[in-house]
Structure 1
Amino acid sequence: MDKIPLLIIAGPTATGKSAVAVQVAKQLDGEVVSADSMLIYRRMDIGTAKPTLSEMEGIPHHLIDIVEPDANFTVAVYQKMARKTIAEIDRRGRLPILVGGTGFYIDAVIYDYDFGFSGINRELRDALKREAEEKGNEALYQKLREVDPRAAERIHVNDVKRIIRALEIYHQAGGSGSLSRRENKKEYPCYAKLFIGLSYNRDELYRRIEARVDKMINDGLVSEVAGLLNDGYHPGLTSMKGLGYKEIAGYLQNEYSLEEAVKLLKRNTRRFAKRQLTWFKRYSSIKWIDMEKYDTINNAADKILSFIRQEIALAGRKKKEKIPTEGTTCQNLK
């Protein structure tokens, strides 16, 4: 059976992934599959820098605006939806382009992760909840950092629900948690991948981040967050703990001034970008594009096209690598 050609465009926030992907898709008859854990939410547009219809330039985008902000959406659900979407794009004779900055989402697509191995331990879960209430979120988060630092990398200190779940998995996996997944991680066999990473030097990236935050404020981020709060989407939701939403929610709840909220958002986004870069640097196959060498988005897209021309699996979609179907689920995707 033929592998599905899959182009991946990743990198830290504010590196221009969405814009570059659109230009590449226009050249290659492609469709974008979002790998961003915040773009899944409806009504959360400004704080997520969600691409507008005009910015999409007619290119189909998938897995954006698929659930309400209070939905219980897991990476396991994302994995299933993303793989199904990629297969459907391929069946239409178009190129799937996986685009985003959520490294765990990308991993879920390209590796054979099984997210159903650990059930619910109600007794342990209740004990951890009590510990969070008595000692605070930071104490529970520190416990996770000590036993499973890789899980802590992708979970915010205030996301108690996910911290508890990660600790639950750690204990039920015999004290291995993320380590178990990493050591047993195998390539998902159904894709012929080309993995592109976009980057800027630190100073320029931070300048772009600060400019993006200023634009969000000018575009009405405060009103967007206020509308969500007024409609009952409380700050404890996973969606409302996303960058931009938790900081502005704090301002709206009179915890600090708007000026302080903006400073916090810029600082937290810089830290987030640093964690993203650390995550993506783990991929040995990634081909990095220094965006400062290209004066326009089109030129960066042209560089990606030059990489693609070097890859038989993606060059004109004329030659596809054959793989055995026995023991795989690829036949279920086609």
Structure 2
Amino acid sequence: MKVKFKLRETKTSPDIRKMPLVVILGPTASGKSALGVALAKKFNGEVVSADSRQIYRGLDVGTGKITPKEMQGIPHHLLNIADPRKQCTVAEYAKEARRAIAGIYKRGRIPFIVGGTGFYIDAVARGAIYPKVPPNRALRKILGKLAPATLLHRLQKLDPERSKTIDQKNPRRLIRALEIIKATKKSIAPIIIGAPYNTIFIAIRRDPQELRRRIQRAVVRHIDRGLLKETKHLIRSGISRKRLADLGIGYRSAVERVDGKISRAQLIGKYVAGDWRYAKRQMTWLRRYPDIHPVTTGNSVNSRRGKRWDQKSPVETTVFGPNSNGVHWIRNKTEAAGLIKNFVNRDQKAVPRKR
């Protein structure tokens, strides 16, 4: 289905509030990238990545970055645009994402945001603004001497909600969270200024056992495809071991393997356990998303091994949006496509074409 849009120009800026934006969410290894490509192909779209690690150049294997072959000719944005030596902030990501989305609209296509980084998605799709707090070097020096468990305990006391979604093994993120709380005297809650686009959200939810198996397979695949070689190259290029540890459990564990501190089996075990913790944090964030309503699914999730999004796989998917009544449970790509078709057709009628 080919859908084309034209922006209604005003004296100040294009009217984007009625333009459709599709957001595909889900935990790591759930199949977001494949679904994004399939739907973007069907609806004349382009993909905007919302992954806080895939945004960096050179972090390919360890982040499970989609390959050119897997893209199937669909343009992908916000991959490989940042220097891994420096932290890319939420504000920087949001600025680039909005620029990419504007370009997609100008080409008459539909943007699909695909990813699992909640801060990124909130900033773009919900208009979330996070507090700008400059680094507190003195505080960082003090907190840097504490173990992650101690930092987490402090965060749990000050901001219980944030402690559930943060990387609990990552001292840099824990210290930053405490730094913001100390500066603002309140929890790390964004200011929501309202959705700048007319957005529909599709959230993939898999059976926990199946998701864990998918994580296991993904970890082994990353190692077989050259995770250790990539890690060595990143170290030789000047990225510190400490920085690599901040870039995810995969690189954190790979550094230990490269240094001879753990075996291959231990690498796999730590990597799988870390990604599983990350997936649970992502699901926790997803459950607290304001548009989601709790639904009892019973035993309706029964994914089959080896199925892909271009087949009728009984993967359970939640679809919710600003104009939806509750939650729609989508069993496969075909049903998701039907919902998006209705969504974009409605918005195509709502947006006046430029005369």
Alpha-carbon separation, structure 2, partners of 1:296 and 1:257? 32
Q: Which has the higher mean CA deviation after the structures are superposed, 252-261 or 6-15?
A: 252-261
Alpha-carbon separation, structure 2, partners of 1:170 and 1:321? 42
**CA 1:279 to 1:297, structure 2 compared with 1: closer, same or farther past 3 Å?**
same
State whether residues 33 and 85 of structure 1, in contact with CA within 8 Å, keep that contact through their aligned partners in structure 2: yes
Q: What residue in structure 1 maps to residue 106 of structure 2?
A: 91
Q: What residue in structure 1 maps to residue 144 of structure 2?
A: 132
1:246 is the counterpart of 2:256:
no
Q: What residue in structure 2 maps to residue 328 of structure 1?
A: none
CA RMSD between the two structures: 2.5
1:78 is the counterpart of 2:85:
no
Normalised TM-score (structure 2): 0.80
**CA 1:239 to 1:43, structure 2 compared with 1: closer, same or farther past 3 Å?**
farther
1:20 is the counterpart of 2:35:
yes
- Written as runs of structure 1 = structure 2, the 5 A alignment for 1:1-334 is 1=15, 2-115=17-130, 117-120=131-134, 122=136, 125-133=137-145, 135-174=146-185, 176-179=186-189, 181=190, 184-188=191-195, 190-237=196-243, 240-285=246-291, 292=303, 295-298=307-310, 299=312, 300-311=332-343, 314-315=344-345, 317-320=347-350
**What's the CA shift string for 1:75-109, capped at 9, x where partnerless?**
11111111121122112110000001111211111
CA-CA distance at 1:291 after TM superposition:
7.8
Greater helix content: 1
Q: What residue in structure 1 maps to residue 12 of structure 2?
A: none
Normalised TM-score (structure 1): 0.85
Q: Secondary structure at the match of 1:318?
A: helix
Relative contact order higher in (CA < 8 Å, ≥ 6 apart):
1
Q: Secondary structure at the match of 1:315?
A: helix
**How many aligned positions are there?**
311
Alpha-carbon separation, structure 1, partners of 2:53 and 2:246? 10
**What's the CA shift string for 1:111-168, capped at 9, x where partnerless?**
23223x444364xx413422332x3333223212221233334433454333333222
Alpha-carbon separation, structure 2, partners of 1:27 and 1:37? 27
- Which amino acid in the other structure matches residue 204 of structure 1? E
- Which amino acid in the other structure matches residue 192 of structure 2? K
Alpha-carbon separation, structure 1, partners of 2:239 and 2:135? 28
- Which amino acid in the other structure matches residue 129 of structure 1? K
CA-CA distance at 1:208 after TM superposition:
0.9
For structure 1, list consecutive stretches of 5 or more residues without a partner in the other structure.
323-334
Q: What residue in structure 2 maps to residue 330 of structure 1?
A: none
**CA 1:43 to 1:5, structure 2 compared with 1: closer, same or farther past 3 Å?**
same
Q: Which has the higher mean CA deviation after the structures are superposed, 52-61 or 209-218?
A: 209-218
Q: Which has the higher mean CA deviation after the structures are superposed, 302-311 or 158-167?
A: 158-167
- Which amino acid in the other structure matches residue 207 of structure 1? R
CA-CA distance at 1:58 after TM superposition:
0.5
State whether residues 170 and 178 of structure 1, in contact with CA within 8 Å, keep that contact through their aligned partners in structure 2: yes
State whether residues 11 and 100 of structure 1, in contact with CA within 8 Å, keep that contact through their aligned partners in structure 2: yes
CA-CA distance at 1:277 after TM superposition:
1.1
Alpha-carbon separation, structure 2, partners of 1:238 and 1:58? 31
Alpha-carbon separation, structure 2, partners of 1:171 and 1:216? 39
